């Protein structure tokens, strides 16, 4: 059970309620993690949503964004975020078998995707330190300077939600990971 209380999403008229209304309008419901963050730090959630808007306007595909977020969540042991990003990656068109391969640390057969997974996993395991060979490999896979900035932004926001969900022990409201 989540550790932090969340007010009634339907009756909250404060700053959190305004954020809830925006999320419901955009995606139809408020995920438990967003509800808990907004209840206790609406500005923090607005920052996460703003970063996601920047990513949506960038050059990384939605698939790449969700793969980045999945790899970070898996490396960080955040069950909530693994379920969320597995589901969102499926919605973005990533095959469930590919998602399983990513979670299990296997090659997917797509050299560009595998280079991205390797880099992000390396970032997660090394506190963000990468060597020349890692940098050369992601560049050789075709990722641009701008995309490296976007990878970094996706990484940063996902670490925040991972840590928050681990602190809160957020109840998972996404489909179970198969």
> Distance of CA 69 to CAs 6, 9, 103, Å?
25, 26, 11
Backbone torsion region of residue 89, taken as left when φ is above 0, otherwise alpha when ψ lies between -120 and 50, otherwise beta: alpha
Which are the contacts of 30, defined by CB distance < 8 A and separation ≥ 6? 9, 20, 23, 24, 38
pLDDT digits (tens, 9 = 90+) for 120-172: 999 999 988 899 999 999 999 999 999 999 999 999 999 999 999 999 999 99
Quick check: 8 pLDDT over 80?
no
SS3 content of the chain, % helix, strand, coil (to 5): 70, 0, 30
pLDDT band per the 50, 70, 90 thresholds, residue 21: confident
Q: Which two tokens stand for residue 24?
A: 């419901």
pLDDT digits (tens, 9 = 90+) for 68-111: 999 999 999 999 999 999 999 999 999 999 999 999 999 999 99
Please provide the size of the chain in residues: 178
């Amino acid at each position: 059970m989540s550790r932090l209380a969340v007010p009634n999403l339907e009756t909250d008229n404060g700053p959190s309620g305004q954020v809830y209304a925006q999320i419901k309008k955009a995606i139809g419901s408020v995920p438990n993690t967003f509800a808990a963050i907004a209840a206790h730090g609406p500005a923090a959630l607005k920052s996460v949503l703003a970063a996601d808007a920047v990513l949506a306007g960038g050059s990384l595909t939605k698939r790449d964004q969700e793969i980045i977020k999945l790899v970070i969540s898996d490396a960080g042991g955040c069950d909530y975020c693994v379920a969320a990003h597995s589901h969102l990656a499926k919605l973005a068109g990533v095959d469930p078998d590919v998602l399983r391969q990513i979670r299990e640390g296997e090659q997917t057969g797509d050299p560009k995707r595998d280079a991205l997974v390797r880099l992000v996993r390396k970032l997660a395991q090394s506190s963000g330190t990468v060597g020349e060979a890692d940098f050369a490999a992601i560049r050789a896979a075709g990722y641009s300077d701008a995309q490296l900035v976007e990878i970094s932004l996706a990484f940063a926001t996902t670490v925040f939600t991972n840590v928050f969900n681990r602190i809160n022990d957020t109840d998972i409201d996404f489909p179970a990971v198969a």
